[in-house]
Structure formats: C-alpha cells, structure tokens
A and B are shown apart, each in its own frame.
Chain A
Amino acid sequence: MHRSLSTDSAIHAEACRVDSSDVTRSSTVLGTQPREFGDAAADATSLRRFLHGLPGVDEVGAQARAAGLFTRSIKKASKVWALEAAIGMVDLTTLEGADTAGKVAGLCAKARQPDPADPSCPPVAAVCVYPDLVAGARSHLVGSSVVVASVATAFPSGRASLRTKLADVADAVEAGADEIDMVIDRGAFLSGHYKTVYDEIVAVKEACGPAHLKVILETGELSTLDNVRRASWLALLAGGDFIKTSTGKVTPAATPPVALVMLEAVRDFAAATGDRRGVKLAGGIRTAKDAIRYLVLVKETAGEDWLTSDLFRIGASSLVNDLLMQRTKEQTGVYSGNDYFSVD
C-alpha cells in the first residue's frame, strides 16, 4: 500500500512521519491493494463482496461497550497526561463562510501557543482551514511543529465533479497543506456504488502527493454502524492515512459507538497488514471530560500505540479552552474563568 507494510517500517514511518512517508509513498504504486486483502477492490463486485463480508456491528452492544469505557475515572497524574496529550492531538479548526485572513492568523497564534500564560503548554497538532486560507496559515506557522490541514473535495457536501474535487485538492496542496481532509461521496456509498467512492479516494490520494489524506466518512449521514464499518474499511483499502468521522456540519457528528467502530477498523487493519492508520474525531467534542473519555476509548480499543497525534486527532475549536482550563486547574488547584483563555 502507500506505506510500507511491515510493522517495523510502519513504526519508523511514525517516528519521522513526513520524511519517511514521502519515501514509502513514492516507492509504491498508488491505488494498489494491501497484499493481505488480495484483490478485494479489483472491481465493483469484489469490493462489494468484501465490504458486505465484514462482521456486522450490533448497535446495542457497541453502544454499551462505549458507554462502559466512558465510565473510566481519570484522575491526578493520568488526567494531566491526558489533558496535555489531547491538546497536542487537536486540529484547531475554523470552517466558516466568514473566515478571513485575520481570523486564521489568530487561530495560528493560538495553535502555536495555546496558553499564553504558560509557555510549557504543548502546541496543537494542526490548524484546519479552507483551501484558500492555507497559504496564510502556512506563513503564520513557519518554525512551529503545527501542520496545516485543509478540507477539500467540495467540502462539506462533496457534491461536485471529480475534476473539481481534484482541482480543489491540488490548490490546497500547492498552497502548502500538509494534510488534506476529503469528504467521501455519501450518495454513491449509500446507493451501493462502493467502487466509485473507492476510485475517488484513490484519485484524491494521488493528487495529495506528499500530503497526508484524511477521509471524512460523515458518519451522521451513513446512519448505521454497519455502514460506518464498511466505509472505514473502504477508506483504509483505498489508502486514506486517517479515517475521520464528520465534517462538523451534520448532526450527529462524532459519537462514542461510531468512534469505537472506527477504532476497531484501524486496529483490525493494522493487525492484518502491520500498517497503522489514524482516526480523527470531529464535531461535538467540546469538553475536556469528553476528550479524555475518547482517549480511553482509543487506549482500550486500538491500543496505547494510537495515543499520538500521528494516529489520533480531534477536530475542534472550543474544546481547547476547556482542556487549558482543566490543565491550569490541575496545576493550581483552582478553576479560572473563561476570560483567562483566549477566544479564537
């Protein structure tokens, strides 16, 4: 596949993500199957057969499992660790029609230094903006570890021709995006045209070049957990580096059972291929408490290896301030008010 298949090189690829993945990417042919899955996506029929052959998901059971993990009690040192880890996993996002260069500049400043009162606070993982604002974001993030992610492919609906979508991606990459968040064609998926969706992801992946690809499933529109599992595998087979829940424009967005099923997919994909892919949750995660609960879900479903911004992200904006406030509280023992943290 796009990354090397052996576990060792997958670990290596994580350790020095951008460089090594460039190498592995260029050395493999885009759009081919991981060999463990043979010709699962050779044609529309085999892809359909593969996806429908995945074990079903029992909705009630998945909900119960996620709810059970959400009752874990995270205190003291483990809470501090989780809060800092979560800050470092945030894709600080603004995706409004009213976005401006000024708004993005402010967001980038916050991304580099989330807590102005405490320089020891880690930066977030990325800022996520529309393609036309990538160049601006890029320039504000020079010299920091924060990468630029851009939604593309006629975000959020995805209702445009493939040509338009690819041009959208090319624009973003050219402007300096390190990561592309694409949306799948939910219409095609729901009407059973899995190969159409697959081919589109492969084409977008190719257009991404060195940029990492996050594939947004828009699980709120897929409706069933069986669909979430199928879409997850579809995106992984097609070469998505991350699978992502939602655009944030549809309710429900990230929910505990959806996160569970997607984490199971990357876990099982890694077990079969040795290739670890990431999960990004977006939409609806606003409190530190929820973020920590999702980290528990990651730890106990995919495993501890996924507790890194290379393999787990949370797309959010208002979440960061609650994480900061809780972090400060753990340090000082008292809560401070909203006014002590910057609005983005």
Chain B
Amino acid sequence: MPTWDYAPAPESRETARLRESYQMFVDGKFVDGSGTAFKTINPADEAVLAEVAEANQSDVDTAVAAARRAFDRTWGRMPGRERSKYLFRIARLIQERARELAVLESLDNGKPIKESRDVDVPLAAAHFFYYAGWADKLEYAGLGPNPRPLGVAGQVIPWNFPLLMAAWKLAPALAAGNTCVLKPAETTPLTALVLAEICQQADLPPGVVNVLPGAGATGAAVVGHPAVDKVAFTGSTDVGKEIQRQIAGTGKKLTLELGGKAANIVFEDAPLDQAVEGIVNGIFFNQGHVCCAGSRLLVQESIADELLESLKRRLATLRLGDPLDKNTDIGAINSAVQLAKIRELSGIGEAEGAQRWSPPCALPDRGFWFPPTLFTGVSQAHRIAREEIFGPVLSVLTFRTPDEALAKANNTPYGLSAGIWTEKGSRILWMANRLRAGVIWANTFNRFDPAAPFGGYQESGFGREGGRHGLEAYVAH
C-alpha cells in the first residue's frame, strides 16, 4: 500500500519583509498616528506580527485635507493620460513585489499562499492595469460627454481580501481623477500599507492616496467627514446600513458591497465532476470568507445522493494547515471573533436539526481554525440557510424543478451572486434572466476579472465595482 505524503513546502516568512511597526500614510509620508497603536496578529498561530498606528479623528482631518489639496492642485486637474501612467506604474510595482505581498497577505489574513499568490495579488495588479487603460478614455465610457471626478473618496474595506479590495477601491477612483482616504480592516492592515509604499515608489503626488489604519471609529470618521464627497464601503450588511444612516442627507455619493447568501444551483444534467469543484471553490475558497460565496448548495433531488458522495470524497482531500505551505488548500479563520460567529451559527444549524458533516481533519493547536463543514437536511426555514456565516460551512438544500430552484435561490434578502450548473445552455439563460443576483456564474464559480462588473441586489448593496460600470461610482455626469 503506497503512502505518499507531501513534505511541507512553506514559503519563506522573510519574503514578507515584516517590520516591527507600521505607520499610517498621509500626504505622501509615513507618519505616526494620534490614536492608540494596535497589534495585528497571525491568525494561524496568534503570534503578534506588528504594531500598527491607529488613526483618530484628527488624523482623518489631516488626511482628508491632504486629499482635498491633492485633488484641487494636482490629481483632479491632471490629464487622464498622465494619471494612467501612475496607475500602470503601480500595477507593475505590485507585480514586482508580488511575492512579498502574497506572503504578507497570508501572514496577516490566514489565507493559503496559493490563493494570495495566484488570485489576490495578480488580480490586484490586473485591476490597476485595467483602470489605467480607462483613465484617458473616460469620455468614451458611456458616462456622458464630460465625466468629472467627484473629489475625495472615503473608502472602507474588509479583511477577507485586504490588498485586492484596496485595489478594487483605489484603481477606479484614481483613474477617474479622485483622491482617496482608505481605511483597511483592523485585523489586516499590512498589505494596504505596503500598497501605500508602492504609491510612494511610483511617485504618486502626495495626498492622492492616504491609508489610515484603525477600527470602526476610524472608519466612521472617514465616512462621516464633511469634506468627503464619495463613500465606498465593502463589509457587513449591518455596518452598511449604519453608514447609510450616518450619511443620509449629506449629498455624499455612496456605493455599498455587503453580504450574501449565494445559491449554487446544480441541475441533474450538470457536468458533475466540475460541479463538485465549483461547489468546493464556491464555499471553501478563502475559508468561505467571501461575500459572494456559494454558501447554499441547491441540488436537484435526482442526483443529490450521488453528488453528495462525490463532494464528501473531494472534501476529504482538502489540506488544511499552515497558510504559508504551498500545498495548503484551507487556511486559518481570520479572527477569534469570526471563529466564534462561525461556531455559533454551526451550533444553531445542529440545534435546528440539520445534519453536520466534516471530513476527518486535524486542526492545529494554536490559531483560529474551522474544518470544512457540510450541513445536509437544511430547509429554507433554517437560519443556516438564511444568514451569512462567512466561513467554510455549506448548507445543502434540494429542489425538484427549475421553478423550485429559482424560487429557493431568490428567497433571500441578499442578492450578490449565484451559480448555475447545467450542460443545457437554454436553462442557463432562463435561470440567469430570473435570478435576482448581481453576478451569475454558469458552470463556474468565484471567477473574477477586472473587466467584469461586480455588485449586488437588495441587502447585498448597490453600485458596481469592476468594468466600465465601476467607473460610474466615481464620476459626476
């Protein structure tokens, strides 16, 4: 009987060029914050990675003032063809420092290196490349004959794709001629600060990009600052609603990219082996910390048993462990808070009578870990079928007909994404026309491209990021 275990193949931690402390980035310079510096930890072993400056209200005032000056004096007046050069430069620098960024991201966030290396960092560069191309073509973006920048954008981003979300926010804003004050998540501030360093390296004029680490209070200060013209937020629906209340009546433009409870719908004529991969990728990619995760599997009853058997066999091959190991498929949960939430909702799933299953999977002793988990026997009435868990937990529901699949898929307050698996093209189109979700994948899942707009319905938010549509949030027309 052969046994072939893969030897550990870790990326070197040195590559991340981790420093003991990180300052905030304001007006083109790294400076100390006026708030209380906080520690960011490695969720894989709970060790402190670095101390990070915290921005308070006065720092936000300084940063917004710097962004306003940069908008008035340099960036807002600069021809698009000049702005594009900076964006191209940033994109290339991200590529040059790709390994450093990938390792740092895995350290700070807990995601497996193969994802930060193959998805997060390349996509972040791709977003800058893509929007660099738009900077001198805004008149042709279908946004009116003379689209103008809005001014200062206050941007608050989540911890699940720290660098990528920074790129999603900064690239279109800068391409359109806005200046930015970006607030990264308190558990994952490091790559955004390296991105700030890259802006400095690219000679971006001072004040065009400002990065202010901090927690909720810092975010509220950025969002609520009277000189901020545009607010963009990605995160939880609760905070999104809070922001909407906070800025109601101020005239600020707002885009929100919030939670989701996406249906991944597998019909009986689906390519089953690829559907299994799509389900795995849909919910276990980035430990399920994905707003568009396919957290509800809707499978046609006629193939449910067969599909679940294949899915379980596949889950048993997932490798959970050291995020820096190149062979790791499932990394660490980002924080103790998030782990507690996943545990709580999973407990509720069991209490509600759903059957819980995980493959045999040893969890490391230290750090925040949760095994890949399936719930079968889930009904639409269960909380695990309705609430966003934001973890590696899949709720499996069944359906009998396309109409039923559609009704169940749409029966959610969210509407960010959906997946359809069938070899029948007409059914894909029929479903896609009727699903209320901003992004619909057919025979694939969690595929991202800077040219494709992304955004939600209902409680998943409004506005689009990516593509030509992503520019609209940053121009007046």
Q: Is B289 an interface residue when CB atoms closer than 8 A count as contact? A: no
Q: Is the CB–CB distance between A57 and B4 below 8 Å?
A: no
Is A64 positioned at the interface, with any CB of B under 8 Å from its CB? Answer: yes
A57 and B273 contacting across the interface, CB-CB below 8 Å: yes
Are A304 and B271 closer than 8 Å at their CB atoms? no
Contact of A57 with B271 in the complex, beta carbons under 8 Å: yes
Nearest residue in A to B445 (C-beta to C-beta)? A61
**Interface of chain A, helix or strand or loop or mixed?**
helix
Q: Is the CB of A304 within 8 A of B6?
A: no
Closest-CB distance, B422 to chain A (whole angstroms): 9
Q: A61-B443, A73-B326, A73-B327 given as contacts; is B273 within 8 A of A81 (CB)?
A: no
Residues from chain B with Cβ under 8 Å of A55 in the complex: 269-273
Instruction: Tell whether B114 is near chain A: CB-to-CB under 8 Å.
Output: yes
A65 pairs with B277, CB closer than 8 A = yes
Number of interface residues of B (CB under 8 A): 25
- Do residues B278 and A75 form an inter-chain contact, with CB atoms below 8 A? no
Known: A64-B277, A72-B327, A73-B326. A308 touches B2 (CB 8 A): yes
Q: Which residues of B contact A57 (CB under 8 A)?
A: 271, 273-274
Q: Mark A69-97, 1 if CB is under 8 A from B, else 0.
A: 00111111111011001000000000000
A199 within 8 A of B: no
Assembly CA distance A71 to B4 (angstroms):
17
Contact B278 A74 (CB under 8 A): no
Q: Complex: how many Å from CA A56 to CA B274? A: 9
Closest residue to A306 on the B side, CB-wise?
B2
Residue A295 at the chain B interface, CB threshold 8 Å:
yes
Interfacial chain A residues near B7, Cβ < 8 Å: 74-79
With A65-B277, A76-B7, A300-B317 in contact, do A85 and B2 touch (Cβ < 8 Å)? yes
Tell me whether B271 and A71 are in contact (CB under 8 A): no
Interface positions, chain B 1-55, Cβ under 8 Å from A, are 1-9
Out of B3, B317, B326, B444, which one reaches A60, CB within 8 Å?
B444
Residue of A nearest to B280 (CB): A65
Say whether B269 contacts A78, CB under 8 Å.
no
Decide yes or no: A56 and B118 within 8 Å by CB, A74-B6, A76-B7, A78-B4 being known contacts: no
Using known A-B contacts A56-B269, A71-B114, A76-B7, determine if residue A304 contacts B2 with beta carbons closer than 8 Å.
yes
Within 8 Å CB of B326, what residues of A? 71-73
Contact A60 B443 (CB under 8 A): yes
Question: Per-residue 0/1 for B403-444: is the Cβ within 8 Å of any A Cβ (1 yes, 0 no)?
Answer: 000000000000000000001000000000000000000011
Q: In the bound complex, how far is the Cα of B8 from the Cα of A304, in angstroms?
A: 18
CA distance A79 to B423 in the complex (A): 39
* Residue A62 lies at the interface, judged by CB distance under 8 Å to chain B: yes
Interface residues as binary, B152-176 with A (CB distance below 8 Å gives 1, 0 otherwise) = 0000000000000000000000000
Nearest-neighbour CB distance to chain A for B195, whole angstroms, equals: 25
Q: Quote the shortest CB–CB distance from A156 to chain B (angstroms).
A: 29
Interface size class of A (residues with CB under 8 A): 20 to 34
A286-315 contacts to B, CB under 8 A, are 295, 299-300, 304-305, 307-308
Cα A295 to Cα B274 in complex, Å, equals 20
- A-side contacts of B271, CB under 8 Å: 55-58, 61
Q: Which residues of B contact A73 (CB under 8 A)?
A: 6, 9, 326-327
Q: Is the CB of B4 within 8 A of A299?
A: yes
In the assembled complex, which residues on chain B have CB atoms less than 8 Å from the CB atom of A304? Answer: 1-4
**Contacts A71-B326, A73-B327 known; A58 to B4 CB distance under 8 Å?**
no
Which B-chain residue is minimally distant from A260 (CB atoms)? Answer: B273
Q: Chain B residues near A264 (CB, 8 Å)?
A: 273
User: Which A residues are CB-close (under 8 A) to B443?
Assistant: 58, 60-61
Q: Would A62 and B274 count as touching, CB distance under 8 A? A: yes
Are A75 and B9 interface neighbours, CB within 8 A? yes
Q: Which residues of chain B from 254 to 284 have any CB-CB distance to chain A below 8 Å in the complex?
A: 269-274, 277-278
Which residue of B is nearest A264, CB measured? B273
Given contacts A55-B270, A55-B271, A60-B444, contact A78 B2 (CB under 8 A): no
**CB-CB < 8 A to A74: which residues of B?**
6-7, 9
Q: Give the CA-CA distance A57 to B118 in the complex, in Å.
A: 24
Verify B4–A85 contact, CB threshold 8 A: yes
Q: Knowing that A73-B9, A75-B6, A75-B7 are A-B contacts, what are 16 other residue pairs whose CB atoms are under 8 Å apart, sorted by A's residue number?
A: A55-B270, A55-B272, A56-B269, A58-B271, A58-B274, A61-B277, A61-B444, A62-B273, A64-B277, A65-B273, A73-B6, A74-B7, A78-B4, A299-B4, A305-B1, A305-B2
The 5 closest A-B CB pairs, nearest first, are: A61-B274, A73-B9, A73-B326, A58-B271, A58-B274
B-side residues, CB < 8 A to A, are 1-9, 114, 118, 269-274, 277-278, 317, 326-327, 423, 443-444
A-B contact pairs, 6 of them (CB 8 A): A60-B444, A62-B273, A73-B6, A73-B327, A75-B8, A307-B2
